[in-house]
Amino acid sequence: MLRAHTGTAVRAAEQPLLEAGQGDALMRRAAWGLAQHVLAELRRRGPVAGSTVAALVGSGNNGGDALWALSFLRRRGVHTVAVPASRSRALHDDGHAALLAAGGQVVDQVPSGAAVVIDGILGTGARGAFELPDGLVLPEGATVVACDVPSGVDADTGQVLGEVIPADVTVTFGAVKAGLLLGAGAQAAGRVELVEIGLGPYLGAPDLLSVGEPELRAAFAPPRWDDHKYSRGVLGAAAGSEQYPGAAVLVCRAALASGLGMVRLAAPEAVRQLVLGAAPEVVAQDQVGGKATAWVCGPGLGEDESAADRLEAVVVLAAEQGLPVVLDASALSLVSLAQVRRLRAAGAVVVMTPHCGELVALAQRLGAEAGLDAGEWESGLDEDPVGAVRELAETLDVVLVAKGPSTVIVEPGGTVFVQTEGGAELATGGTGDCLAGVIGAVLARGAADAERPAVGMQVAAAVRLHGLAGRAAAADGPFGASALPDQIRSVLATAAAK
Ligand SMILES: NC(=O)C1=CN([C@@H]2O[C@H](COP(=O)(O)OP(=O)(O)OC[C@H]3O[C@@H](n4cnc5c(N)ncnc54)[C@H](O)[C@@H]3O)[C@@H](O)[C@H]2O)[C@@H](O)CC1
Ligand SMILES: Nc1ncnc2c1ncn2[C@@H]1O[C@H](COP(=O)(O)OP(=O)(O)O)[C@@H](O)[C@H]1O
């Protein structure tokens, strides 16, 4: 499990250590770790001694880290140059002295032969929009290693307001910064490597979590020897309509691929025939009903009266039995606040899975009805997406899965998860239907498991599984959503073999 803290939280954690006069020691620890990662990059490319590493160096402590790292690299036979990159061209005093003492140089331009360029312009002290230094040219093929945070990325929110220096690797200090996992920040950060500098005892609870393989394995564990189909979980699905029959196929196939006891589908005749052709193991019926341990409602449901009837039937059943419900796609625009409240009052977990457009529409419709100032909420969405998703989740008292390049999962009163496994290849019709099936499956399975992880973690594991399946599918070339179920099985087979 990856734990991330905002840049602000990390700065607060550093404060007592700075006051105790440990700033230099912290900086040297950070710089040493940075130098080790740069050495690893150099080794990957060829001989270390004789190679060139350049650092773009700002005037603050981020620049100080980069200068100290250059001084350590210089002692390994690396040709090291610092390129002042702030308007004032000022450099951190001690770092500057350390570089010169080690035999490094200060120059005006990044040498064209630099194998690695360290971005040490701005770190957690960045405020507002960043402008690239005038005339900056990075050598083609050089590996860009960001020091703590790529310059231009807000370490709290991941927002990129102005320009940015995208990194291949970000070596971050003390704690993974939340901004490296969110939106444009995650995109700019590349691979993230953490260097411990001893902040552990001073850091509070993480601001964000991201599940990894152990959580995926726990949420999607293979069946126990004495399991039977009902103990493995039964997912009920109200999905598909004559207009959108395929969505039901995707939900059912993705759920089956995730491993559970049974999928039960409530849909019109034409949809049932299509689903049974693709997955004859599905129990297909025309009405919502029968034994299930969780329900998913919405993919391809349409928005006519019969869609609303199917949603209402799911709400009644789930409220009666206290079952978890995943509301996706059409259900997000059909569901009423009264229905959500009925489910919550009955103790049913409600998971909503909006993409960005659906998220805004939810805030405007149900959020506003529940007392949210939707205009103000929307104006804060870009600046602090996690805060906005949390506010809406708490207002509606539901688990929100805000889908996108970084999918944010918020359980009211619980931890926030963010998963970034999936790539833009997932931006193709029907992948969200598959995700609804995977989330439905994990909840159906979990409902039967006394030792189940918290709902937020189960849902985050489902999002990770879906993202990894997308990545695996993309490795074979462009794909449509119907390629995902087989990849879900492969990802789970690999996870189980570890
Ligand atoms: N405080 C410490 O002892 C430690 C700090 N560390 C490093 O210190 C960094 C934070 O250092 P600082 O607080 O000095 O901050 P930065 O080095 O991130 O930036 C500070 C400077 O950049 C300027 N600046 C801010 N936003 C700007 C913008 N948009 N455009 C142009 N200039 C801008 C500020 O006016 C200030 O002069 C961390 O990211 C980390 O790399 C690490 O060495 C660990 C220990
Ligand atoms: N640019 C992107 N990068 C990563 N994942 C993406 C991107 N665009 C979309 N996705 C993912 O693809 C899925 C799309 O869901 P959705 O928009 O509901 O699709 P549909 O309704 O067509 O099934 C979500 O899981 C989302 O996180």
284's torsion region: left (phi>0), alpha (psi -120 to 50) or beta?
A: beta
For the record, the structure tokens of 253 come out as 């196939």
Which pLDDT score, from 0 to 100, does residue 87 have?
A: 85
Q: How many domains does the chain have?
A: 2
Q: Chain-centre distance of CA 180, in angstroms?
A: 10
Both 159 and 222 in one domain: the answer is no
- Which of these three, 205, 239, 266, is where a domain ends? 205
Ligand 2 atom closest to 463 (CA): 25
Q: Which of 444, 490, 446, 498 is nearest to 466 (CA)?
A: 490
Mean pLDDT score, 442-448: 86
Both 218 and 178 in one domain: the answer is no
Ligand 1 atom closest to 121 (CA): 17
CA of 408 to the centre of ligand 1 (A): 28
405 is in an annotated binding site: yes
Q: Chain-centre distance of CA 232, in angstroms?
A: 28
8-state DSSP, 153: B
Residue 325 pairs with which residues in a beta bridge?
A: 295, 350
Q: Which ligand is nearest to the CA of 59?
A: 1
**pLDDT tens-digit readout, 326-353:** 999 999 999 999 999 999 999 999 999 9
- What is d(CA 350, CA 410) in angstroms, rounded to the nearest whole number? 12
Indicate which CATH number applies to the domain containing 136: 3.40.50.10260
Both 135 and 56 in one domain: the answer is yes
Confidence tier at 413 by pLDDT (50, 70, 90): confident
**pLDDT tens-digit readout, 471-494:** 999 999 999 999 999 999 999 999
pLDDT of 371 above 80: yes
Which pLDDT score, from 0 to 100, does residue 39 have?
A: 98
Mean pLDDT score, 375-389: 94
Contacts of 77 (CB under 8 A, 6+ apart): 48, 49, 50
Mapped onto helix, strand or coil, the DSSP state of residue 391 is helix
Mean pLDDT score, 448-473: 91
Q: In 135-227, which ranges are E strands?
A: 143-147, 169-173, 176-177, 191-195, 208-210
pLDDT of 448 above 80: no
Q: Chain-centre distance of CA 23, in angstroms?
A: 32
**246-257 and 431-447 helices, crossing angle to 10°:** 40
Confidence tier at 451 by pLDDT (50, 70, 90): confident
Confidence tier at 450 by pLDDT (50, 70, 90): low
pLDDT of 456 above 90: yes
Contacts of 443 (CB under 8 A, 6+ apart): 235, 293, 294, 324, 326, 349, 351, 455, 458, 459
**pLDDT tens-digit readout, 321-333:** 999 999 999 999 9
- Which of these three, 189, 205, 221, is where a domain ends? 205
**pLDDT tens-digit readout, 181-230:** 999 999 999 999 999 999 999 999 999 999 999 999 999 999 999 999 99
Ligand 1 atom closest to 174 (CA): 44
CA angle 26, 44, 140 (to 5 degrees): 90
Both 311 and 358 in one domain: the answer is yes
CA of 265 to the centre of ligand 2 (A): 23
Q: Which ligand is nearest to the CA of 87?
A: 1
**pLDDT tens-digit readout, 291-323:** 999 999 999 999 889 999 999 999 999 999 999
Both 195 and 220 in one domain: the answer is no
Amino acid at site 123: G
CA of 403 to the centre of ligand 2 (A): 6
Q: Which residues line ligand 1 (CB under 6 A)?
A: 14, 18, 23, 26-27, 30, 58-63, 65, 122-130, 147-149, 173, 197
Report the complex ipTM: 0.92
Ligand 2 atom closest to 354 (CA): 18
Contacts of 226 (CB under 8 A, 6+ apart): none
Contact 159, 184 (CB under 8 A): yes
pLDDT of 21 above 90: yes
Mean pLDDT score, 452-467: 94
198 is in an annotated binding site: no
- What is d(CA 152, CA 161) in angstroms, rounded to the nearest whole number? 7
Both 364 and 475 in one domain: the answer is yes
Q: Give me the domain span that covers residue 146.
A: 2-205
**pLDDT tens-digit readout, 125-176:** 999 999 999 999 999 999 999 999 999 999 999 999 999 999 999 999 999 9
* Through-space distance between the first and last CA atoms of the chain, rounded to whole angstroms: 16
Both 58 and 141 in one domain: the answer is yes
- Which of these three, 205, 238, 255, is where a domain ends? 205
Mean pLDDT score, 423-433: 98
Q: In 158-268, which ranges are E strands?
A: 169-173, 176-177, 191-195, 208-210, 234-238, 262-266
Both 181 and 220 in one domain: the answer is no
- What is d(CA 146, CA 121) in angstroms, rounded to the nearest whole number? 9
Both 178 and 239 in one domain: the answer is no
CA of 61 to the centre of ligand 1 (A): 5
Q: Which of 174, 123, 181, 118 is nearest to 152 (CA)?
A: 123
Question: How much of the chain exceeds pLDDT 70, in percent?
Answer: 99
Both 281 and 388 in one domain: the answer is yes
Both 160 and 307 in one domain: the answer is no
Indicate which CATH number applies to the domain containing 296: 3.40.1190.20
Both 325 and 419 in one domain: the answer is yes
Q: Which ligand is nearest to the CA of 354?
A: 2
